[in-house]
Amino acid sequence: MPKSLVIIVPCYNEEAIFESSSGTLLRYLDGLIAGNKVNSDSRLCFVDDGSKDITWELIQNCVAKNERANGLKLSKNFGHQSAVLAGMLENKDRFDAFITIDADLQDDIEAIEKMVDAHANGAKVVYGVRNDRTTDTFFKRSTAEGFYTLMLKMGVPVVYNHADFRLMDKMIIKELENYKESNLFIRGIIPTIGFKSEKVYYKRKEREAGESKYPLRKMLAFAWNGITSFSTTPMKLVLWFGVLNFIIALFITAYVIISKFAGTTVSGWTSTLLPMAYFSGSNMIAIGLIGEYIGKIYEEIKARPRYIIEKDLHQ
């Protein structure tokens, strides 16, 4: 029995590309239904993330003309992650499988069929992974790949070169609902939920019309959010920096004492320099220690689930 699928498409000021993308997606979905890959309850859900252009009017038109198109309008611009989240949570009881994809269709829609197949074979999450970025500009490619490397180094559990193009089973969406944090970094959360996952590889295309809604400023904010939502490494660095300072202070002490006895110092130099070296080291250690506790408080306050059960056999 084929399952029902919803394809969630966040749209922010996408008037230049909406008609062509929605047409392509609708045709593709019809094809999946005709091929018996998904059932006829499947839908597209366009989420207007507070667009300032006529995107919402276009979505309304599309919904009026196509029975397989749904629309959701957010009250203002909440950002890509929130738009995707709204699309998933508002539809949580209506579908068996959820796919999120950007409105510009830079991610190859042909991967959708592979995702649906992997889901039918038991995968609960199917990650779309870019294995070719030759169409991205050098700048976009190197910043994006640097982003994944940095995230992984900091201990954020992202899938390398996977953005938010993925399929999720409805049980994943139910678990996702238990992550109450407002700074939601979805692509970091999904791997922490667990369950069987698969990867589907595809080639990323160029944006055909309109501009990227992710300028460098937003990308940096996004990366920073990802790191601070998952990792207390920056705080630990402060502590280690403090310890390093302290060790340096020991060397400074040796140098200062030797200079003093060699008679090459002016009066007051030794008594000023030594406390400075030690106090700055110990201050930094103290800040790092406080940071450790703040890190713990931060972990607690997010109140993430402590475990997730996959099966429970009891009789």
10 Å Cβ neighbour count for 225?
A: 16
**Encoding tokens for residue 235?**
């705080």
Residues 112-131 that bind ligand UDP (CB under 6 A): none
Nearer to ligand UDP, 79 or 281 (CB): 79
Residues 74-103 that bind ligand UDP (CB under 6 A): 77, 79-80, 83, 102-103
| CA pair distance 152, 146, nearest whole angstrom | 10
Q: How big is the chain by its Cα radius of gyration, in Å?
A: 26
Site string for Mg ion, 50-89 (x = CB under 5 A): ----------------------------------------
| CA pair distance 245, 209, nearest whole angstrom | 52
Nearer to ligand UDP, 104 or 108 (CB): 104
Pick from 106, 197, 232, 245 the residue near Mg ion by CB under 5 A: 106
- CB 162 within 8 Å of CB 187: yes
| CA pair distance 257, 296, nearest whole angstrom | 41
Site string for ligand UDP, 185-224 (x = CB under 6 A): ---------------------------xxx----------
Nearer to Mg ion, 19 or 30 (CB): 19
Phi, psi angle pair for 157, to nearest 5°: -80, 60
DSSP, res 103: T
Q: Which amino acid is at 155?
A: G
Tell whether residue 104 is a contact of Mg ion (CB under 5 A).
yes
Nearer to Mg ion, 134 or 267 (CB): 134
- Give the pairing of strands 97-100 and 125-132: unpaired
Q: Which amino acid is at 72?
A: L
Using the contact rule CB under 6 A, the part of the chain among 7-15, 124-132, 185-193, 194-202 near ligand UDP is 7-15
Cβ at position 80, least distance to ligand UDP in Å: 4
Residues near ligand UDP (CB under 6 A): 10-12, 14, 49, 77, 79-80, 83, 102-104, 106, 212-214
